[in-house]
A and B are shown apart, each in its own frame.
Chain A
Amino acid sequence: MLEGFKRFTSNKGAAIGLFILLIVILTAVLGPLIYSDSPWRMVQRPFLPPFTVDGLPLGTDALGRDVMAGLVHGARVSLLVGLVSTVVALVIGVPIGAAAGYFGGLVDDALMRFTEFFQTIPSFALAIVLLAIFQPSLFYVILAIAVVSWPPVARLVRGEVLSLRSREYVEAATLSGQSTFQIITRQILPNALPPIIVLASLMVATAILLESSLSFLGLGDPNVMSWGYMIGTARTVIRTAWWLSFIPGVAILLTVLAMNLIGEGLNDALNPRLSRKSR
């Protein structure tokens, strides 16, 4: 594992990604302590461009709120939504995929048809419908994102389990009297971990994008300041105050890019043979 970490950090892109992510995490954790006031509070006159007034480095938005404070609080929301919804998607997808791959036959058919049912609906449309039904609170935003993003996890895990379950060490575990649950969790899943980790890191990025898109459409939680919400409210003034959409946009871009770089780096580090071949 240590060797894998060395390989990971020796990848330049991955190191940059990790660096950006660390900054975002630090901002999310420490930022709200510095900007302890509510980001919704009006602090100055509206439409102040960046770097014009001391103490407001990124200026103010259409209602005179501090853009910097919004950005800092938004980081916390974006990361929270990205991480939690990915974890929830894994919690749904991994057991379904593992069961389908291990038991095969009817169980596999039933679970995979169920998965395909979710896959055939465009995920963004489904998320919008779900949020239109429930109240748009942070809890439901996370739930909606998780519900639309677990099918690829299930499919990936199923494939991995299918190929691992016929290994001889799994047969040996069966013969030694271990229970099915033990075989799946202790013999098979640990060996299926590398591709799942890679997929999860990329899912965090998609979840952040999805949350931003939902907030942009006004379907996010109205009580939390998020990057998507900031872009959404600024779109009406994009010609007069373009920076109001641009700044949170850059934040999203950098975070998603960082997650993708990390995902790619993890892929190379965990599948060293694959990456060497592709070069």
Chain B
Amino acid sequence: MSLLEIENLAIALPAGADRPFAVENVTFSLHKGEILCIVGESGSGKSMSANAVMGLLPEGVTPAEGRIMFHGRDILHLSEENRRDIRGKSISMIFQEPLSALNPLMRVGAQICEVFEAHNLLTPQERMRRAVELLTEVGLPEPEKAVRAYPFQLSGGQRQRVMIAMALALEPEILIADEPTTALDVTTQAQILSLIEDLRRKHEMAVIFITHDFGVVADIADRVIVMQTGEIVEQGPAEDVLLRPTHPYTRSLIAAIPGMKERPPEAEGKAGSQESPVILSVNGLNKTFSTGGGLFKQARVVHAVNDLTFDLHLGETIGIVGESGSGKSTAGRCIIRLIDPDCGTVRLSDVELTKLSGQSLRMARSKAQMIFQDPFSSLNPRARIGRILTEGPIAHGVPRVQAMERARELLSLVGLDPSAVDRFPHEFSGGQRQRIGIARALALDPDVIIADEAVSALDVSIQAQVLDLLADLKARLNLSMLFVTHDLRVAAQICDRIMVMRRGEVVEMGPTAQVLGQPNHEYTRSLLAAIPGRHHEQAMRLAVASE
């Protein structure tokens, strides 16, 4: 007998939204002790269905049809009061961003105690004891001290553990996890996933796990539901859905996962561009940030980039890989002088960028351009695409008419319609905006492009398209690229060489196949081991091989 039954659920969106229903005809059940993964791209309605279970629908969004049965009771239409009883006690939830889900001004222990307090359970002393127990259970180091810590004193992974401890406080029967590892590094993600796995086994808890990452699904799911634009397109046991997907959408999603595939040999041949001339040469680059500090207090010094030295050859792509805080983005920005490095030199062809300033820096910088992470904040919302693409060339003295001509060419080069010049950024989707960002970077005919997490904010299928575009442009225009990313799988697809950074230092650098195939450094190995979905990939390979 199933624990939770969702029947025919439909949730209406307010008038004027892009579709009348956020989700429609959603029917599924959840069994005791199982992990059910709901997968889909952004806007597929996967979070909305989970929020309906908790009664956390945003204002203006209302359930239109269907039932959610929990212990023989329809909880979709409960009053707020009755719902409060279920929340936390029977069903609890953890969120994507652990920093914003915790109260920044309350000690961690007090926040866990609050859960008991809300349900009028235990005495204050017992509550504190339970808090320590819970923190021990979720594997927080030094739980007695941790209860007295404020959220900002904990790392992202530790905060997520605190959230899980809060969710577990009343031993709920169902845990809903809404993208709980998306904001975390791979190694931390792997730890959190195994924690959730352990806890559900110990408490026989059912878990609804919402994610966009098929790798994560492959690692933990018992059953999988695939959603597309508000409807369930496929559901079934994990092995079936992942290895023998029946719906074309599922197939395309799985195909779009950047795998640690071997690159085609012809690309490998081209990558032997070590003989081609050096285009960018970085030598002994250093950057330290110091925060805080005062008369009586030592300032906290962070070595964001420590003695970075490498050469980028013409037509080559180097991946800079690392977890958050490893200094990879700072390195990219120091090279291009968006941040001034403390010492070291950067030579771009024959110009020493680190020595320039003012007008000469402005002129020289046109040879190194950047593609940014967030397609929403990287385009000026009040400028038409034509203006965005021509401002750079015009600043460098190209006549307006000619610059506009070039803008149209660039748009068709990145696979957009040239008529886009007259439109505003908000009229485009995330993937299209990223294409515009790429066109802008190309507008000044740069020698080197620095891509800072250029595909991290995109859905997998869009990510694959943009990566294809970049690979294609690279081959056609013989671009040299620095590709900053946290995702080893993405790096594997596009990079000739990979540089692994940790805490500002390069721990390993070498050809992609070597770094990923036979890593020398222990840290690289741990990064590789933490990538979700590795077992699945082997299974896939076996399945293909046996056919």
Contact = CB atoms under 8 A, between A and B. Distances in A.
Interface stretch (A32-40, A131-139, A173-181): A173-181
Of all A-B residue pairs in the complex, the 10 with the closest CB atoms, nearest first, are A176-B392, A168-B378, A168-B372, A177-B362, A169-B380, A177-B395, A190-B382, A178-B395, A167-B377, A168-B377
Interface in A141-185: 167-169, 171-179, 182
Interface string A240-270: 0000000000000000000000000000000
B512 interface: no
A174 B336 CA distance: 10
Given A178-B392, A190-B382, A171 B366 contact: no
Interface of A: 167-169, 171-179, 182, 186-187, 190-191
Interface of B: 336, 338, 362-363, 365-366, 368-370, 372-374, 377-383, 388, 391-392, 395-396, 437, 440, 443-444
A172 B377 contact: no
A191 B392 contact: no
Contacts of B374: 168
A188 to B, nearest CB: 9
Contact of A182 (B372, B383, B395): B395
A211 to B, nearest CB: 34
B381 A191 contact: yes
B369 A169 contact: no
Nearest to B372: A168
Nearest to A171: B338
Contacts of A175: 336, 338, 365, 368-370, 392
Contacts of A177: 362-363, 365-366, 392, 395-396, 444
Nearest to A176: B392
A11 B388 CA distance: 34
B440 A179 contact: no
Contact of A172 (B363, B370, B381, B382): B370
Contact of B373 (A168, A178, A190, A191): A168
B338 A174 contact: yes
A172 B392 CA distance: 9
Contacts of B369: 175-176
Nearest to A169: B380
Contact of A187 (B362, B380, B440): B380
A176 B381 contact: no
Q: Which among A176, A179, A187, A191 has the highest number of chain B CB atoms within 10 Å?
A: A176
A172 B396 contact: no
Contacts of B392: 175-178
B410 to A, nearest CB: 13
Contact of A179 (B377, B381, B395): B395
A176 B377 contact: no
Contacts of B378: 167-169, 172
Nearest to A170: B380
Given A176-B444, A177-B395, A171 B380 contact: no
Contact of B366 (A168, A176, A182, A191): A176
A174 B369 CA distance: 10
A270 to B, nearest CB: 12
Contact of B380 (A174, A179, A182, A191): A191
Contact of B362 (A168, A179, A186, A191): A179
Contacts of A168: 372-374, 377-378
A18 B437 CA distance: 41
Nearest to B396: A177
Contacts of B363: 177
Nearest to B336: A175
Contacts of B395: 176-179, 182
Given A168-B377, A173-B380, A176-B395, 15 more contacts: A167-B378, A168-B373, A172-B440, A174-B338, A175-B392, A176-B366, A176-B391, A177-B362, A177-B365, A177-B392, A178-B362, A178-B392, A178-B395, A179-B362, A187-B383
A105 to B, nearest CB: 13
A169 B391 CA distance: 12
A222 B377 CA distance: 54
A175 B374 CA distance: 16
A51 B536 CA distance: 92
Q: Which among A171, A172, A174 has the highest number of chain B CB atoms within 10 Å?
A: A172
B379 A171 contact: no
Contacts of A178: 362, 391-392, 395
Contacts of A190: 380, 382
A191 B372 CA distance: 19
Contacts of A167: 377-378
Nearest to B446: A175
Contacts of B366: 176-177
B370 A171 contact: yes
A191 B377 contact: no
A213 to B, nearest CB: 38
A174 B366 CA distance: 10
A172 B372 contact: yes
A191 B440 contact: no
B516 to A, nearest CB: 29
Contacts of B443: 176
A102 to B, nearest CB: 15
Contacts of A187: 380, 383
Contact of A171 (B362, B372, B382): B372
A169 B365 contact: no
Nearest to A277: B59
A182 to B, nearest CB: 7
